[in-house]
Each structure stands twice: as C-alpha cells, then as structure tokens.
Amino acid sequence: MIWEFWDLEESNGKKATALDPVVNGQGRIVSYHNDPKNQRMCECQKCGITIPREVPRLTLKASYYYGSGNYCMTCAKDVLKERVRVYQMTTKELGEEQKKMEELIDLTEKTENHPWYAKKMALGKMLQVIKE
C-alpha cells in the first residue's frame, strides 16, 4: 500500500537532543589584582604556594563555590584555559544541536504544507468529536 506521506518516509528517525542550557555563575567574578600596598600575603587556591603581597594574582570571587580564592599566575592560566575549553566545547555542541533542530523545523513545515496533512488532521478531529 502506498501511504499519503510516502515522500517523507526517508526522514523517519531524525532526532535532536532537547538540551536545556543553563549558564550558572552570574555571581562569580574573575579579576586580576596588582595593588601591592593594599594586598596581603595569601595562598594559591590550587597549588597552595604562598603568594607575596608584591606579586600580582588572579582572584575568583564566588559565594558558596569551592574554587573561589586567589590563584598564582601559573594556576590561573590553567584554570582560565580549562574554562575557555569548556566554553568552546559547549558552543560547538549547541551549534550542532541547533542545526539538527532547524532540520526538524523544516521537516515539520514540510509535513504541515503537505496536501494530505489538513485532510488527515480533520479526520482525526472528527473522530475525536464522535468518540466523545
């Protein structure tokens, strides 16, 4: 038997992941500090080395976050590179899923504009009314 929507059968099984991206960390601020007369000695959050007051440091201010604190330049560079890598990976993944979603949108528009779609949906509505 030939079905009315035979020309759309090759699209069967197309899918996209319905990601719900949440960007946390609005209260986190990364800042560079180089003010020797107003700085104190501190320890690097990652490696634990003592940072003298004359040495610049990177500070991650965040409430209730285990990574907040001061970082030496070596550790700060590693932390920042890791965050950039995560951002790049996330944007790449979101871009791929966006393309898949756009393909599904095109497929739904093709189906809605199919000459048989309105007739079959009207039949479904009629059957729903009769069933009640």
Query: What is the rounded CA–CA span in Å between residue 34 and residue 56?
Result: 5
For residue range 53-69, list pLDDT tens digits in order: 999 999 999 888 888 99
| pLDDT tens by residue, the chain, 132 residues | 667 877 788 888 888 888 887 877 778 899 999 999 999 999 999 999 999 999 999 999 988 888 899 999 999 999 999 999 999 999 999 999 999 999 999 999 998 998 888 888 888 888 988 987
For the chain, give the mean pLDDT.
89
Q: In terms of pTM, does the model score above 0.85?
A: no
